[in-house]
Amino acid sequence: MKRKIYKPSKRSNVSPFYVMDLLQKAKDLESQKKVFHLELGEPQPKTPKKVLNKAKELLFLKIPGYTPSNGIIQLRNKISEFYKFKHRVNISPDRVFVTTGSSGAFLLSFLLNFDKGDRVAIFNPVYPAYRNILKSLDIEVVEIYPENTNGIIDLTSIKKKKNINGVIVSNPNNPNGQVFNKKDLKYIYDYCVTNRLRLIFDEIYHGITYNCKATTGLNFGDEAIIVNSFSKYFCMPGWRLGWLVVPDPLIENLLKLSQNIFISSGNIAQFSAIEVFDCLDHLDKIVDDYKKNRDIAIGILKEMPLLQYAIPKGAFYFYINIEKLGVDSSKLIGQILSKTGVALTPGIDFDRNSGSKTLRLSFSADTNTFRSGLKILKKWYQENY
């Protein structure tokens, strides 16, 4: 037998992103029945018209091909101004790097801050790409689990972990919609500074909060890395634009990494994104629609008493404990999808220990679709439980 030349590296053997697998199954099912996409982490409606019109205009202009690896200065200036307007912090545009989505920002920030064998703490439930990108870089992941059924995270539990080199905090959190207060965020910031730990704040759901405001890590000082994105609040999913804000000592090496790994982000996407900062009132109205959907969900979920959850204060997800149903979440979600056309996300993406007992329900769809899907889900629940 001829020996195979190729086999994948050990570092490439990461866990799949189960929600993407589920999305494909849901898309395949659409040829047979109507599917209600309550699994997607994607805003509705999508990109503001002013951004789309700018992109159309740019298609006919001879704009440069590659842009600077840290992003065009016009967009970095807009991001800097946005922090001053929204959070009253002054950030030099030199510290702002435009990236190929938040995924590019995570890869760059992990390479920038950690070496092989370093240990980085994450708080479950958590966005799975942290874990998988870190693993692919031979960085050890230290997982911190909640001590409650609703998946509520306690940032002060970090003090139980020794010999770590860094910490990642998602605020607002995906998947449970938790928004950390200033006291908790200051605790984690001061703890990391005191113990010389690299701190990365994932703030890609900033702007999407309900009856509260998410505080940026920049409010506590310059000793943290900030990740943000144009995909969620700014309603530009698929344009693949994110950004980093980094301390001054990291600028030079981050630029070199950006130049060699990505060269630059898309030029039309960057020039178009400048316009989105003139659409904040429109974007805030979309957040009002998310809140309407959230409140609809609260009323309907009350009629499914075996489900346990905390009411999300940010992002656009419910993270639901289904332990009382006595069935694995992946199996349950498959049954619901095939019987009703309602697509949900299994919790295994977000928590490897307890994810089989949880699922994520997104309420970012348009209100009519969301209400209809949730009513169908309630009907299925009442027929089976």
DSSP code of residue 223: S
Q: Which residues pair with 141 in a beta bridge?
A: 120
Distance between alpha carbon 199 and the CA centroid of its chain, in Å? 17
User: How far apart are alpha carbons 179 and 213 in whole angstroms?
Assistant: 8
Q: Which residues of 123-136 are buried (b: 16+ CB within 10 A; e: fewer)?
A: bbbbbbbbbbbbbb
Provide the phi-psi class of 248: left if phi over 0, else alpha when psi is between -120 and 50, else beta. Answer: alpha
**DSSP assignment of 229-274:** ESSSTT--TTS--EEEE--GGGHHHHHHHHHHHTS---HHHHHHHG
The full set of domain ranges for the chain reads 10-47+280-384, 49-278
Q: Is the CATH number of domain 10-47+280-384 3.90.1150.10?
A: yes
Same fold, 10-47+280-384 and 49-278: no
Q: Provide the CA 61 distance to its chain's centre, in angstroms.
A: 33
In degrees rounded to 5, what are phi and psi of residue 198? -75, 130
Fold of the 49-278 domain = Aspartate Aminotransferase; domain 2 (3.40.640)
What is the reported pTM?
A: 0.95
What is the CB neighbour count within 10 angstroms for residue 329?
25
The DSSP 8-state label assigned to residue 144 in this structure reads E
pLDDT tens sequence for the chain (385 residues):
567 788 899 889 888 777 777 778 878 888 888 999 999 888 977 899 999 999 999 998 888 789 999 999 999 999 999 999 999 999 999 999 999 999 999 999 999 999 999 999 999 999 999 999 999 999 999 999 998 877 899 999 999 999 999 999 999 999 999 999 999 999 999 999 999 999 999 999 999 999 999 999 999 999 999 999 999 999 999 999 999 999 999 999 999 999 999 999 999 999 999 999 999 999 999 999 999 999 999 999 999 999 999 999 999 999 999 999 999 999 999 999 999 999 999 999 899 899 999 999 999 999 999 999 999 999 999 999 9
Measured CA to CA, the distance from residue 123 to residue 172 in angstroms comes to 13
Helix axes 18-29, 329-340, angle to 10 degrees: 20
